Structure 1
Amino acid sequence: MIPSRGDISSPIIRNHLKNVYATFTLTTIFAAMGGYISLLKVIREGIISYIIHFSLLLWLIMIPHYSNNMKNQLTRLALLNAAAFFSGINLESILDKSISIDPALIPQVFLSTSIIFISFSLSTQNIIKKVKKGDKDYITHSVDLFLDFILIFKKLLIILIIKGDKRKKINKYVFQFLFYMEKLLSYLVPMTHQFPHKV
């Protein structure tokens, strides 16, 4: 369902969507930075990085949204970007494997994910519905978009890795585990709606 012109033309909704997608873009940049750092082996993927990633998101979830409190928003934005950074760190094994097969896989999958994401207007429609119900927490809505984006990126990359690995045996269960770990986060995010959102 494509958002109607009336919805998007509303100043409140238009401004909200601008905040959501600006935050989402910044979050994606931090995730890309994390992925690059992991390839340099400065910070490695592991149990600790996953614990940090989950902890940051849970911390973010536990902090209520106050739209008129700049400190509150900056704190939650910092937590979100830090979580995104470690989300990128946790892509290390998948990125390493894809580079060993074909270095061009990563930019190809990123472009494909972006095209799929842009073409898929359901996420925007869901955000508009939430705003109409009084939920103006653009940071949480950005989390929703980011986790969807990462899930699509991982799934496409894993498919191409498995397809492209003709000569070496690949441990599919490892990649499936990583994929479902991230998917679990997408179910945790709706918990934020159980907490009060202050305006």
Structure 2
Amino acid sequence: MDYAASFFEGRGSQWNYNSLKNFNAISTAVQHHLQRVYMTLAATVLLSAVGVYIHTLWNIGGIITSLLFIGASTWLAVTPSTAENENKRLQLLGAAALCEGASLGTLVGQVLQFNPSIVMFAFLGSTAIFACFTGAALLAKRREYLFLGGILSSVISMMLMMQFGSMFVGRGAFMFNVELYLGLAVFVGYVLFDTQMIIERASLGDYDYIKHTLDLFMDFVAIFVRILVIMTKNANERERKDRERRRRRD
């Protein structure tokens, strides 16, 4: 059944609220698993915010915290998902979130000095985008967006090659904007893909909610960073134009 199409009834102009609660294609066990994933994700994002705050106090974010994030994430990935390892893996997830938050602290701190409201609106915008596309993935037909996996991987590879090439030829404003907006589109696509992959894996008996949380957390952070940069760039451009207009009037 196409749940995206079932949003509308009659001539397509009447909203069907009941369709929002129609998850019959997802088993009860998988629904419970998803609830666990999203509750853990909320806690992980909160820990990341704590990491940002810690950076503002002690300026610890940088290459070391980025490496620690990679190390904690890798350690989590290679640690078997068993009941005995659950607390250990949760601690690794929390450590990864704290390190990622500290790594983002420099960027967030600079934006806070420029305009604190941008950080709040970037977070709210990222949350709204993440929620909308997660909802789309949950309500769509099963496996509908799994084809995106190969496309997104190819685009990521192309972007990496573009960044590598820019080391030799330089990166202008046009290339920067391409990487910025294309990267945002890619990670929005990954929200769709990863959500449906989580559903499929859970349907096959993979209830590793900690690993699934890490996948979605990385998607959320990637979206947040790009929206934060986009909003800051636009605010800078508006401020520059305002200064030019004031200078002309004077």
Structure 1-normalised TM-score?
0.75
Give the distance between the partners of 2:198 and 2:69, measured in 1 at CA: 24
Is residue 2:76 matched to residue 1:60?
A: yes
List structure 1 runs of 4+ shifted beyond 6 angstroms.
none
In the alignment, does 2:102 pair up with 1:89?
yes
User: Pairwise CA RMSD of aligned residues?
Assistant: 2.0
Q: Distance in 1 between matches of 2:62 and 2:52?
A: 13
C-alpha distance after superposition, 1:149-177 (max 9, x if no partner):
00000010011222223479xxxxxxxxx
**In structure 2, C-alpha distance between the alignment counterparts of 1:17 and 1:131, rounded to whole Å:** 9
Residue 12 of structure 1 pairs with residue 29 of structure 2: yes
Runs of 5+ unmatched residues, structure 1: 169-199
Alignment deviations for residues 64-89 of structure 1 (CA, whole Å, 9 cap, x no partner): 112xx1x3111101000110011100
Which amino acid letter does the alignment assign opposite residue 53 of structure 1? F
SS of the residue aligned with 1:127?
helix
* Aligned pairs for 1:14-53 within 5 A: 14-40=31-57, 42-53=58-69
Given the superposition, is the C-alpha separation of residues 72 and 2 from structure 1 closer, same or farther in structure 2, using an over 3 Å criterion? farther
Equivalent position amino acid for 2:23 in 1: R
* Distance of 2:67 and 2:197 partners within structure 1: 29
Identity of aligned residues (%): 34
2: distance between equivalents of 1:11 and 1:142? Answer: 19
- Asked if structure 2 preserves the Cα contact closer than 8 Å seen for 1:7 and 1:13, the reply is no
* CA distance in structure 2 between the aligned counterparts of 1:160 and 1:152, rounded to whole angstroms: 12
Structure 2 residue 198 is matched with structure 1 residue 127: yes
Q: Which residue of the partner structure matches residue 149 of structure 1? A: 220
Matched to 1:46, the amino acid is G
In the alignment, the residues of structure 1 paired with residue 223 and residue 65 of structure 2 have an alpha-carbon distance, to the nearest angstrom, of 21
Unaligned runs of 5+ residues in structure 2 are 5-21, 135-191, 241-250
Measure, in 1, the Cα distance between the counterparts of 2:29 and 2:59. 41
- The answer to whether the Cα contact below 8 Å between 1:7 and 1:128 also exists between their aligned partners in 2 is no
* Count of aligned positions: 163
Compute the TM-score of the two structures, normalised by the length of structure 2: 0.61
- Asked if 1:108 corresponds to 2:121, the answer is yes
8 Å contact from structure 2 (residues 44, 94) kept in 1: yes
Q: Distance in 1 between matches of 2:230 and 2:200?
A: 33
Does the 8 Å contact 2:50/2:101 carry over to 1?
A: yes
